[in-house]
Structure 1
Amino acid sequence: MSRKIDLPSAAEMRKFHDYSQRRFFWSRISMPQRLSLGFLTVITVGALLLMLPISYVGGRDHTFMDALFTATSAASVTGLTVVDTATHWTTFGQTIIMILIEIGALGFMSFSVLLFTATRRQMDLRSKMMVQEVYNLQSLYDTRAVFGYVIKLSIAIQFIGTILLAPFFIHDFGWGRGAFYAIFHAISAFGNSGFSILPKNTAEYVNQPFVLAIIAALVIAGSLGFLVWRDVLLYQKTHRLTLHSKLALVMTGALIIGGWLLFELTERNLAFASGLSPVMRVFDTLFMSISYRTAGFTQFDVGGLGSATILLTMMLMYIGGTPGSTAGGIKTTTLGVLILQTHAALRGKKDVTFAHRRLTQENIMRALLLVCVSLVFLGILSFMLMLTQSHAANHGLEYVIFEVVSAFATAGLTLGLTPHLTTFGQLVIMLAMFIGRVGIYTVMFSILNVHDEAAPYRYPEESVIIG
């Protein structure tokens, strides 16, 4: 006796075909491309929310470019703005900015993994690989553990920062507004974003070392990177630090102390010009060394600083924070690897060593490639702005270069060019912020779809004259 077989209908066949096509499309997209697309999606949603009438103060000139630029700056934890954050946006709009900073600081992939954790679902291989890409993990085995650690540590640090800042802001602005200010600035400082909703940014607290110390501590916490914090906090158990953490801690300490001493040298008239006591002058230059490199909180008009200070600030911004952190730049470990390579080469050594370990050639080549590509990228963007921004014509080269470096390093400092950017100029700076946060390697691999390919042959080796 034959059985009747129900064949799928035409509608069901089309539905299955469409599903198969979508699955095929997503399977063809590489990890860097997924990261870039995900970040673009976050920015787009943020811009659309900032376009809502309840997001900005009525009666102000408000365009989609204002919303898009602000969303890009917030999601990339930069802090450059074309409108005043304190007066242009309502509390709802400032809350959207705060959420974008949080997403940008932790990485949008964190929230995808949070969904897996909340629903107790297992992460597939692609999700694990994306988490590995976001947090610069060496292996896939501990992605969920690392993510859980990142979320718990981030919430704890920002909560402590909020509690410590709250008394000062509540005293100055009342309970409701003061509490919101404390939450916003704790998130912004930990995210190294530099966004502030204070009427005069942190300049209002230029003579209050406790407020600046709390913000500086949050900035350092965010710029060190989650993997470094895990090593430090687990040191009593493991009694060891990874080579990455050792190099990151050494370079971070050297940059903070070195920048502090150099700012003391370049801004010798800071106390006289700003009415600061000698003690506060020392403290404020220390805050400059911490904040200017990664965060962008400033107590002074950056445009009024000396030329040597501006050059030093550009160098610090370009270096930035630690890989896997909320900061941008080429990263402290990249500089450390290049310094170690230079030191070894000058001493005629073939091996590059640090803390009784030998660095791989892949590490060294990756660092060299990152510096070369980033410098070319910064040069192209600076050239484009110099050609198109008429407002910059009456200023020096540093007026434009400072802006581009600040955007790429997601530092958020400006000499005053940002509010005067044309639409094209805004697009250029948004591109710099996007690449600076997602990572120049991620974007480069997304566009070029780079993959390992063993060449079937090798050419003969020959040298050229160098130097």
Structure 2
Amino acid sequence: MVKVLLRLLFGSPQALLVSGFAALILVGTASLLLPIARVGDAVGPLEALFTATSAVCVTGLVVVDTATDFTPFGQLVILVLIQLGGLGLVTVAAIGAQFAARRLSFRSQETLGEVFFQRNLAGELSLSLRRIVGLSLVLEGIGAVLLFPCLLRYHRPLEAAGSAVFHAVSAFCNAGFSLASDNLLGYGRDVPLLATITGLIVLGGIGHAVLLEGWMHLPGGTGSGHGPLGRYSFHSKVAVLVSGLLIAFGCLALLLCGISPDLTDPLDRFCQALFQSVTARTAGFNTVEIGHLPLASLLVLIMLMLVGGSPGSCAGGLKTTTLAILGAQLHSILLGRKDTVLLGRTISVEVVRRITLLLSLAGLWNACGVLVLALSERSPGIGLEDLVFEQISAFGTVGLSTGLTPKLSTVGRLWIVATMFVGRLGPLTLAMWMLPRFKERITFPEGRLMIG
């Protein structure tokens, strides 16, 4: 029995990720329940669990006010959970590779390299992980230095320094937590601050493998040199290209659909549209009231939240590469091609099958989620768009809300906790962990069905 339990918890890369994240959430919940971590009685066990899950899964949805319901110690706990959760995919893998070597075979370490870096790094997994963690901390430090003078205009020096570090980590990890009760509404017209936050979000959501490759191509990097764009990997090209197209699409779509009637200056409207386009892809900061946006703008944000960031990053969602492969598959089918071709490269049948499975699992989970929320949240004034937005925001680990999150019932909060967990790890990872793999030994006769 013990061996079966150990195999279930630590016997595979997927099991290591699930157990590692679950343990971190439980530790975070217990820490936030300590008297020195909370103010008053607003934070109970469910609120602590919700906040810890949101921080570890770098979502940003909150049912209590981070600024007023937690002490500085509690806010520090949240910051640590965000940092560990944001780098969780690589830190948990590092723990597995370093300290669970007896349980993880060479093939398992190779699998970790393929999952996080899109290539076989079994022989250099530990070195690559250390480089990524170091690079992430350096970028967060640079972000904090840039944010400090901006926040110094609003706070005393010590408060500004703490807020700069908190927001830099939260932005790079795509968490969306803020030490201001209104998130970033009060900084909505501070262009230098928003530009820094935007840059950190993009860097944190582009993928650790892409960041590492870009750093190694800089002058003085440890890679093969700072050659032309053609020397970057196929994965990096796709991730950067799709991310740029999504940011441009979101910005233009929000400008067309509307942001806020209070924004009359064209430059202000462009800055807000650009920021919300970036942050909707799993960061969760907001400089406008999301609940006051037109329905068309909410639909644009839902599409961006569902796609999310790139694989192996701090971001959630279905991932940019999934969208690229889906588009390439559709294009190939329409042209009558047998193979799926993307940027002159053939995508393997196994990858296409995984994409199909991922989309099916995500669609099923989110459809069930909207149904659960529709049954549990029956307060007046809650529309279907609020329920869909909340569900997709949790699944994409975004953190934006139309204002429904604090009003959620106990059942609704527990469902959103589960959705954030599934969204962070990915439904495909959980399915591979839970379901046994069978080798097909029998070939069944072909059946014909009418479709379309």
TM-score above 0.5: yes
- 2:44 alignment counterpart: 63
Question: Which residue matches 1:284?
Answer: 272
Q: TM-score, normalised by structure 1?
A: 0.89
In structure 2, the CA distance between the partners of 1:125 and 1:456, relative to structure 1 (3 Å rule), is closer
Cα distance in 2 between the residues matched to 1:290 and 1:82: 24
Deviates more, 1:322-331 or 1:227-236: 227-236
| Structure (1 or 2) with the greater helix fraction | 1
Q: Distance in 1 between matches of 2:385 and 2:247?
A: 23
Q: Does 1:252 align with 2:232?
A: no
Residues 1:458 and 2:443 aligned together: yes
Q: Give the secondary-structure state (helix, strand or coil) at the position aligned to 1:233.
A: helix
Q: 1:125 aligns with which of 88, 95, 105?
A: 105
Q: Name 1:94's counterpart in structure 2.
A: 75
Alpha-carbon deviation of 1:465? Answer: 2.4
Aligned position for 2:286 = 298
Q: Are 2:390 and 2:402, in contact at CA under 8 Å, matched by a contact in 1?
A: yes
Q: What per-residue deviation string (whole Å, max 9, x for no partner) do you get for residues 49-81 of structure 1?
A: 000011011x34331101010000000000000
Q: Distance in 2 between matches of 1:422 and 1:122?
A: 44
Deviations 1:75-134 (A, max 9, x none): 0000000001111111100000000000110016516736987x9x99953773674376
Q: Which runs of 5+ in 2 are unaligned?
A: 219-223
Q: Matched residues in 1 for 2:214 and 2:42: separation?
A: 48
Q: Is the 8 A contact 1:209 1:280 kept in 2?
A: no
Which position in structure 1 is the counterpart of 2:182? 200
Instruction: Tell me the residue number matched to 2:221.
Output: none
Q: In structure 2, what is the Cα distance between the partners aligned to 1:374 and 1:76? A: 17
* Shift, 1:147, TM fit: 0.1
1:79 maps to what in 2? 60
- Matching of residue 386 in structure 1 with residue 374 in structure 2: yes
* 1:361 paired residue number: 349
Partner of 2:426: 439
After TM superposition, give the deviation of residue 427 of structure 1 in Å: 0.6
Partner of 1:265: 256
Aligned to 1:87, the other structure's residue is in SS state coil
Asked if structure 1 preserves the Cα contact closer than 8 Å seen for 2:150 and 2:192, the reply is no
- Deviation of 1:385 after TM superposition, in Å, equals 1.1
Partner residue, 1:30: 12
Question: How far apart, in 2, do the equivalents of 1:320 and 1:275 lie?
Answer: 27
What one-letter code is carried by the residue in structure 1 that aligns with 2:146? L
Residue 395 of structure 2: aligned partner: 408
| C-alpha separation in 2, matches of 1:276 and 1:96 | 40
Structure 1 residue 244, shift from structure 2 partner: 1.3
Distance 2:63 2:309 in 1: 25
- 1:314 shift after superposition: 0.5
CA displacement, residues 309-341 of structure 1 (integer Å, 9 cap, x when unaligned): 001100110000001000111001001000000
Structure 2 residue identity aligned to 1:337 = I
SS at match of 2:145: helix
What is the identity, as a one-letter code, of the residue corresponding to 1:407? Answer: A
2: CA distance between counterparts of 1:112 and 1:366? Answer: 21
Distance 2:429 2:75 in 1: 29
- For residues 369 and 270 of structure 2, the distance between their equivalents in structure 1, rounded to whole angstroms, comes to 35
TM-score, structure 2 length as denominator? 0.91
Structure 2 residue aligned with 1:398, among 385, 388, 392? 385
SS of the equivalent of 1:353 reads strand
CA contact (8 A) 1:227 1:324 kept: yes
State how far apart, in whole Å, the 2-side matches of 1:93 and 1:129 are. 38
Could you tell me which residue of structure 2 aligns to residue 110 of structure 1? 91
Q: Deviations over 1:2-26 (max 9, x none)?
A: xxxxxxxxxxxxxxxxxxx756642
Partner AA of 2:70 in structure 1 = W
CA contact (8 A) 1:260 1:285 kept: yes
Instruction: Give the corresponding residue for 2:214.
Output: 232
SS at match of 2:415: helix
- Alignment match, 1:186: 168
The answer on whether the counterparts of 2:315 and 2:397 sit within 8 Å (CA) in structure 1 is yes
* Structure 1 letter corresponding to 2:251: W
Deviation of 1:145 (Å): 2.1
Question: RMSD of the alignment, in Å?
Answer: 2.2
The match for 1:12 is none
Query: Given the superposition, is the C-alpha separation of residues 342 and 148 from structure 1 closer, same or farther in structure 2, using an over 3 Å criterion?
Result: same
Separation in 1, partners of 2:92, 2:264: 44
Equivalence for 1:310: 298
Q: Residues 116 and 122 of structure 1 are in contact (CA less than 8 Å); yes or no, is this contact kept in structure 2?
A: no
In structure 2, C-alpha distance between the alignment counterparts of 1:358 and 1:267, rounded to whole Å: 39
SS of aligned partner of 1:167: helix
Aligned-residue identity in percent = 36
Task: Report the secondary structure of 1:44's partner residue.
Answer: helix
Q: What stretches of structure 1 of length at least 5 have no aligned partner?
A: 1-20
Structure 1: distance between partners of 2:29 and 2:421: 14
Larger radius of gyration: 1
Structure 1: how far apart are the matches of 2:359 and 2:281? 17
1:235 and 1:293 map into 2 onto residues whose CA distance is 26
2:130 maps to which of 126, 148, 153: 148
